[in-house]
Structures are given as structure tokens and as C-alpha cells.
């Protein structure tokens, strides 16, 4: 499900969810619970069509995604108990 769908479900029900801490920090109305969950991050990729030639804006965006992913891969995730 999308982050928007999960966000709506969380705001309109008594559900809880496990989400990246970045989502909690950027989505209004969500609260981080003091629970430390050990989870390994899986691989993330970009899918394009065969022979894809991006427009300059798309190429820039993909470059930014790669930079952010590289920084996140080098950063230790902060457990809920330390925030």
C-alpha cells in the first residue's frame, strides 16, 4: 500500500503500523511509539523501460535519489528509544 493510504488508515482508525522513521517525521498526525524494532533494509531500485533515455530533469532526479540512498546506506538508523 502507499504511504498516503497507510497515513489515512492510521489517522481514521485505531491501527498501528511499522513504517520508516522518515515517514513519521514528515506526515502530520503520526506519532513514533517507543518500540525498538530490529529490521534489515531491503534493496531498492529504479525501474525503467528498455532503451530508456531520461530527460534532463529525470536524470537529475535519479541522480539525487542515488545520492540520498548512498547517504542513507552509510547512516545508522536511529532506534525509537533514542529519539
Assigned domain for 82 exists: no
Cα distance between residue 26 and residue 7, in whole Å: 11
Assigned domain for 59 exists: yes
Residue-wise pLDDT for 43-72, tens only, equals 778 888 999 999 999 999 999 999 988 887
For the chain, how many structural domains are there in total?
1
| C-alpha angle 22-26-29 in degrees, rounded to nearest 5 | 115
Look over the chain and give the mean of its residue pLDDT values, rounded to a whole number: 82
Cα distance between residue 66 and residue 45, in whole Å: 9
Cα distance between residue 37 and residue 34, in whole Å: 10
Residue-wise pLDDT for 2-16, tens only, equals 888 888 999 999 999
Count the Cβ atoms, other than its own, within 10 Å of residue 7: 19
Cα distance between residue 65 and residue 62, in whole Å: 5
Residue 32 lies in domain: 3-76
Assigned domain for 28 exists: yes
Of all residues in the chain, what percent carry a pLDDT higher than 70? 84
Amino acid at each position: 500500500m502507499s504511504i498516503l493510504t497507510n497515513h489515512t488508515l492510521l489517522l481514521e482508525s485505531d491501527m498501528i503500523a511499522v513504517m520508516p522513521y522518515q515517514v513519521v517525521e514528515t506526515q502530520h498526525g503520526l506519532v513514533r511509539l517507543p518500540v525498538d524494532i530490529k529490521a534489515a533494509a531491503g534493496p531498492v531500485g529504479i525501474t525503467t523501460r528498455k532503451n530508456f533515455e531520461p530527460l534532463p530533469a529525470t536524470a537529475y532526479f535519479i541522480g539525487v535519489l542515488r545520492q540520498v540512498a548512498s547517504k542513507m546506506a552509510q547512516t545508522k538508523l536511529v532506534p525509537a528509544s533514542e529519539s
